[in-house]
């Protein structure tokens, strides 16, 4: 089954919408179906670049599509809640047991507060999720009402992820408007996530790099 089919599932769409609505009320940035589609596609791209099998790529994409459904229950421990929901859902879709276990393990380990990369699928999911930094994830339309998370995301005017197979590197390139957010503020929010990316890349036999405004910072 393809991740695009998963995202069209009524139960998945309902869970993602409720989760995103909940987070909107709590002041979080966008965690919608769009975010999950970006994460799914990027997770698959990372594994494809490093020569993983089509099957592993597909599992990473499905994990990406489902990784935030746990927000429908609660933001705290959403990875674990999402894994439980995903297991039941994937069972209904007749996904083989061994595949279900890999997918839910990745979902349950994708949040930096409780998780970490445990295999290639989870590593790709973490890298794809934590590198989705973009201005249009900010929902607050009034700049005067921005919190630090809003400022950090809104300050990113361009973001690209580059995989260099020869150098075994994964690089997040950011252009940051420092009139909106200082580099200190960026790292205050994202340092934990970037270190999680570093460990995930290492599991794939690669290095994670971060550049901001053309300068290497990690």
Helix-, strand-, coil-residue percentages of the chain, each rounded to 5: 60, 10, 30
Q: Which residues contact 94 (CB under 8 A, 6 or more apart)?
A: none
How many domains does the structure of the chain reveal?
Answer: 1
Query: What are the pLDDT digits (tens) for 107-154?
Result: 999 999 999 999 999 999 999 999 999 999 998 878 878 887 888 889
Query: What are the pLDDT digits (tens) for 43-85?
Result: 999 999 999 999 999 999 999 999 999 999 999 999 999 999 9
State the pTM of this model: 0.95
Domain that holds residue 46: 3-216
CATH number at residue 183: 1.10.3210
């Amino acid at each position: 089954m393809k991740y695009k089919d998963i995202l069209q599932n009524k139960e998945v769409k309902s869970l993602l919408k409720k989760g995103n609505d909940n987070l909107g009320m709590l002041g979080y940035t966008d965690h919608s179906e769009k975010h999950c589609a970006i994460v799914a596609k990027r997770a698959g791209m990372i594994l494809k670049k490093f020569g993983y099998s089509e099957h592993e790529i597909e599992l990473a994409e499905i994990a990406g599509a489902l990784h935030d459904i746990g927000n429908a229950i609660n933001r705290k421990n959403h990875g674990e809640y999402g894994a439980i929901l995903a297991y039941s859902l994937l069972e209904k879709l007749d996904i083989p047991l061994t595949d279900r276990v890999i997918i839910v393990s990745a979902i349950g380990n994708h949040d930096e507060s409780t998780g970490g990369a445990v295999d290639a699928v989870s590593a790709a999911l973490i890298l794809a999720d934590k590198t989705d930094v973009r201005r249009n994830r900010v929902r607050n339309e009034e700049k005067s009402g921005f919190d630090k998370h809003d400022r950090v995301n809104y300050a990113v005017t361009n973001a690209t992820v580059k995989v260099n197979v020869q150098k075994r590197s994964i690089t997040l390139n950011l252009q940051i408007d420092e009139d909106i957010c200082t580099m200190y503020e960026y790292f205050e929010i994202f340092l934990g996530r970037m270190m999680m990316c570093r460990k995930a890349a290492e599991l794939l036999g690669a290095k994670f790099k971060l550049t901001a405004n053309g300068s290497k910072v990690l």
